[in-house]
Amino acid sequence: MNEQSVSPAEQTAENTLIFFYPQEKCDYCDRLTGVAITTSGNFEPLCPLHGYSAAYSSTPTTRELDDQLKTVERFVQWMHDDRGHLVLITSIDANSVPGYVADAFEPSSMFPDHAWNVQYEVPSGERADMFVVWSVQWTQFSLYRDGALVSERDCGGVL
Amino acid sequence: MSNDQAQSFVITFTPAHPCFSCERLTTHAHVTISITAHDKYSSIDPHIDIRCPLHGYYGPDTLNGHTEQDALDSVARFVIWMHADKGRVPLVSSIEDLSAVPDYELDEGDMAWHARYEAPDGARIDSYVVYGVDEWKFFLYERGVQVTERREEVA
């Protein structure tokens, strides 16, 4: 086998989520992060708020589907001061999220927002239902709980 | 002529990915951020270069932001890898005269270094490392001959 004939594009025709060290700045803000998405040689460090691991193509691989859920869970945990975990994630239509209003300027039929219904469990065992929306236009997650947008993290940081 | 500038840094990552030159899994990569001379405030196309120790030569060049130290580090990484990822390389220096490398057949454009390897028990081996530009990989020479096998697997 000719080792030089293997190109990066042939090897990585999918988005892959990596956890790296040392940390770098998120591509969208000044937060430091140790998570990045790589695609065919591109490297994109992303914080929990901006870090949705979308599929490379319209036919996601098993790993891409797994990585998508990992980034949703990462965002929810980050919103809760990096504690607890998700016990259930279900993909849903964004328009069915209580409190969510689609951006009027967004060409919704082309790139609709992604949404999930999640069940979050705090370390004490208490569970809560909430919703996560990924805005394609603003490239960031939003958390909805009790029919309203959650605009602050549990540790006090304003988004 | 390109006016591009670049910065490069090393990351360790998980899960391991295949090397861009072979199928060996690795957790080491160089990331390059190019900055155009016309727009110094916007970086473009951060690029990740995933290479195993055998193929991972990061030679000094301004386009990728690799420094002389990056080159020496990649030589040391290769030597340690050849010794089953044990020990250390306290000394690496480039050599100009490749004919000084015993058992090596001169090939134009190749690069060479002298590397001192120190095993965990303190034993030292003075070795030579050649990077073959045609083969895109390192070669190790110890005790006057080319080393063709790692301590744990065929290189």
Partner residue opposite A44 with nearest CB, options B18, B46, B49: B46
Q: Closest approach of chain B CAs to the CA of A26, in angstroms?
A: 12
How long a stretch of residues is chain A?
159
pTM of the model: 0.81
Q: Which residue has the higher pLDDT, A94 or B62?
A: A94
Alpha carbon distance, N-terminus to C-terminus of chain A: 51
Q: Can you give the length of chain B in residues?
A: 155
pLDDT at A8: 46
Range B113-123 burial, b when 16+ CB lie within 10 A, else e? bbbbbbeeeee
A36 CA to chain B: closest CA distance, Å? 10
- Which chain A residue shows the shortest CA-CA distance from B30? A43
Closest by Cβ to B12, choosing from A20, A36, A45 = A20
State the pairing for strand pair A32-39/B25-35.
unpaired
Q: What angle do CA A63, A69, A73 make, to 5 degrees?
A: 140
Which residues of chain B from 116 to 145 reach within 8 Å of chain A, CB to CB? Answer: 136-137
- Provide the pLDDT confidence category of residue A99 given band limits of 50, 70 and 90: very high
Distances from the Cα of B61 to the Cα of A94, B52, B86, angstroms: 48, 20, 29
CB–CB of B21 and A16 under 8 A?
Answer: no
Would you call B148 an interface residue with chain A, using a CB distance cutoff of 8 Å?
A: no
Distance between CA atoms of B154 and B27, rounded to whole angstroms? 20
Nearest to B55 by CA among B84, B1, B9, B18: B18
Specify the pLDDT at position B2: 45
Q: How far is A3 from chain B (nearest CA, A)?
A: 6
| Contact (Cβ atoms closer than 8 angstroms) between residue B68 and residue B75 | no
- Best probe of the A interface among B10, B14, B20, by most A CBs < 10 A, is B20
List pLDDT tens digits, range A20-50. Answer: 999 999 999 999 999 999 988 889 999 999 9
A→B contacts (Cβ < 8 Å), by residue, are: 3-4, 6-8, 11-12, 16, 18-22, 24, 27, 36, 38, 41-45
Average pLDDT over every residue of A129-156: 92
A22 and B49: CB-CB below 8 Å?
no
Number of C-beta neighbours around residue A6 at 10 A:
16
pLDDT score, position B62: 75
How far apart, in Å, are the Cα atoms of B34 and each of A21, A29, B2, B4, B37?
20, 18, 12, 7, 9
Tens-level pLDDT at each residue, chain B (155 residues): 344 577 888 999 999 999 999 999 999 999 988 765 445 455 566 889 999 999 999 988 877 788 889 999 999 999 999 999 999 999 999 999 999 899 999 899 999 999 999 999 999 999 999 999 999 999 999 999 999 988 775 45
Mean confidence (pLDDT) of chain A: 87
Q: What percent of chain B has pLDDT over 70?
A: 88
Q: How far is A22 from chain B (nearest CA, A)?
A: 6
Least confident range from A17-21, A54-58, A107-111, B128-132: namely: A107-111
> B18 vs A42: CB contact, 8 Å cut-off?
no
Phi, psi dihedrals of residue B92, rounded to the nearest 5°: -135, 130
Q: CA B125 to CA B36: how far, in whole Å? A: 44
Q: How far is B55 from chain A (nearest CA, A)?
A: 10
Nearest to B119 by CA among B148, B145, B151, B146: B151
